[in-house]
Amino acid sequence: MLAFWPDVVRPLLEALEPKSIVEIGSEAGRTTRLLLELATRFGAVVHSIDPGPVFDTTAWQREWGDSFVFHRLPSLVGLCGIDRFDAVLIDGDHNWFTVFNELKLIESRSLDLGQGMPLILLHDVAWPYGRRDLYYAPDAIPAEHRQPWARKGMSPSHAELLEQGGYNAKMCNALREGGPHNGVLTAVEDYLKQTIFKFKLVVIPAVFGLGILLPEPLAVEKPALAARVQPWTVPEVQKFIERMEMARISMLTGG
């Protein structure tokens, strides 16, 4: 998510002027700090959800006061404790079950709170995890929703995991790319098929992919926000970015 900050995330949030920003997956807090700095301009609160952060959240809460609320919980638990959703950044557990249910839970909470759906940004909607599950904690995923997996590497030219080498070989990766209930983008598409809300989905195919879910009513209410999304939908721009990403991945994976 951090790589998209200056050109995508910050401009979208500036146009939205949110009062409540929800971040799923904070890790070392690099994006979190940028969100907090931006939030001070709008009098906003940043809710950060992560069961295992690698920064001193207590010190951060002292530094940022009421503008920073940390939820040391899995996302599907932490989301239940939030009472307003204006923007949600999803960059946590990159698998179908988690992402699909995060989106469902954001929807149900929005309905319960009597608000429209928020702007949602999702990382890892392209290769390698757009169509392949990653599990940080495999046992936390119900067996019926968990793909067979192994700690083996990936290549964009192979649907199966590699026996030697490959990208992210130490992670718990689904054995095969593609198929039902497999990957972040698949989760987004499956959610869109069944939701009562109308969205515009834009995928920026760079740095493992950023998905923008823009609710149609929000696009009407905030024309400046819709205008910030539009340039990323131009087919020529999309094709150019995708070619650059393919070249980057080829260098990254040695192939």
Angle between helices 184-194 and 96-113 (to 10 degrees): 40
- pLDDT tens, residue by residue, 1-13: 999 999 999 999 9
Q: How far apart are the first and last CA of the chain?
A: 25
pLDDT of res. 72:
97
On whether the pTM is more than 0.95, the answer is: yes
- pLDDT tens, residue by residue, 212-250: 999 999 999 999 999 999 999 999 999 999 999 999 999
Is residue 255's pLDDT more than 90?
Answer: no
Residue 150: which H helix or E strand, with range? strand 149-150
Per CATH, domain 2-131+178-253 is 3.40.50.150: yes
Is residue 254's pLDDT more than 90?
Answer: no
How many residues in the chain?
255
Query: For the chain, which residues make up each domain, given as ranges?
Result: 2-131+178-253
At 214 the three-state DSSP class reads: strand
Three-state secondary structure of 70-107: EECCCHHHHHHHCCCCCEEEECCCCCHHHHHHHHHHHH
- pLDDT tens, residue by residue, 183-212: 999 999 999 999 999 999 999 999 999 999
Q: Where are the alpha helices (DSSP H) in the chain?
A: 10-16, 30-42, 57-64, 75-78, 96-113, 184-194, 216-221, 223-229, 235-253
Report the candidate in 97, 82, 121, 123 with the shortest Cα–Cα distance to residue 228.
121
- pLDDT tens, residue by residue, 176-189: 999 999 999 999 99
